[in-house]
Amino acid sequence: MTTTARIVTRNRPTAPLSKRRVEPIYFLFLLPSLILFTLAVTVPGIVGIFFSFTDSIGIGDWHFIGLINYIAAFGDPAIMESYVFTFGFSVATVIVVNVAAFLLAVGLTSRIRMKAGLRAIFVIPMVVSGIIIAYVFNFLFSNSLPGAGAALGIPYLSTSILANPDLAWTAIVIVTAWQAVPGALLIYIAGLLAIPSDVYEAADIDGASKSQQLLQITLPLMVGYVVINVILGFKNFLNAYDIIVGLTNGGPGTSTRSVAMTIIAGFNGGDYAYQMANATIFFVVAILVALLQLSVTRGRNTL
């Protein structure tokens, strides 16, 4: 090939990505997943939304009743309380998880011994079932801590925190964060390892202290990873169920009942259509939260 031909070949414009032909084989590989998702998620969701406009109890005859279930749900104090708890719990847990995970990530990427072993240890809670973790911590909060508090003569610790309607939510935050921190930790470690060491070397030459490097270099460069962890964490915590069931089962009373628990309890109690309306409302709220998060992060370099 001549030099001129090479230049022409190099300068030949390539087709835009949006106009490139997609091989049919790709759609063939996508088809099984699309069918499973449609049958397991889309169809049940549409059926559930349909029955939310009826008086169905899950079996037997039913009749259309329009928006009565939705109107009743908006005026139901129990449902409103579950929404308040779920969003408050989610915000508190997101803060605890990200602060703890970020500080641990900074420590586990610094010059300390046995970093690999410590990282493996901190990831263990991530692979344990949430309900098992909840039952273990239930025993600790209900027996071990009150026993230790009584032995040490500390009245505040002598009673179970799970029996206190004003404090039971803190136990749920602690246990949920204990399981969620490893996932956020891995993302933060990846982000910290991606920061070039030359940046810190230049900061050392300029005389910047470790705290100044953390606040003025590390944090600004980690904003994208923080955004990712906040979005993923908030989405997951909105669906909290198993840990709450294992710790408090929604109690004392209904002080720690999440939206998911309220919906499932209604299904088991014969309020199928009513709680399906609640589930539809929750679905719309989750979409609005996702759109809000996307609008806040749009145009930013998240990675």
**For residue 54, what are the β-bridge partners?**
64
Give SS3 for 54: strand
pLDDT bin (cut points 50, 70, 90) of residue 8 is very low
pLDDT bin (cut points 50, 70, 90) of residue 24 is confident
pLDDT digits (tens, 9 = 90+) for 128-180: 888 899 999 999 998 888 888 888 888 877 888 898 888 899 999 999 999 99
pLDDT digits (tens, 9 = 90+) for 279-289: 999 999 988 88
Over residues 241-257, mean pLDDT = 91
Which range is least confidently modeled, 13-17, 19-23, 59-63, 225-229? 13-17
Q: CB under 8 Å to 228, separation ≥6 — which residues?
A: 187, 302, 303
Note the pTM of the prediction, 2 decimals. 0.82
Superfamily of domain 75-297: MetI-like (1.10.3720.10)
Whole-number average pLDDT of the chain: 85
Position 183: which residue type?
A: G
Position 154: which residue type?
A: I
Which pLDDT score is estimated for 5? Answer: 45
Over residues 199-226, mean pLDDT = 86
The residue among 187, 223, 185, 230 whose CA lies nearest residue 91 is 230
Which percentage of the chain shows pLDDT scores above 90?
A: 39
Sequence ranges of the domains in the chain: 75-297
The residue among 96, 113, 115 whose CA lies nearest residue 105 is 115
Which percentage of the chain shows pLDDT scores above 70?
A: 91
Q: CB under 8 Å to 171, separation ≥6 — which residues?
A: 137, 141, 161, 162, 247, 248
**For residue 64, what are the β-bridge partners?**
54
* Residue 298 or 37, more confident: 37
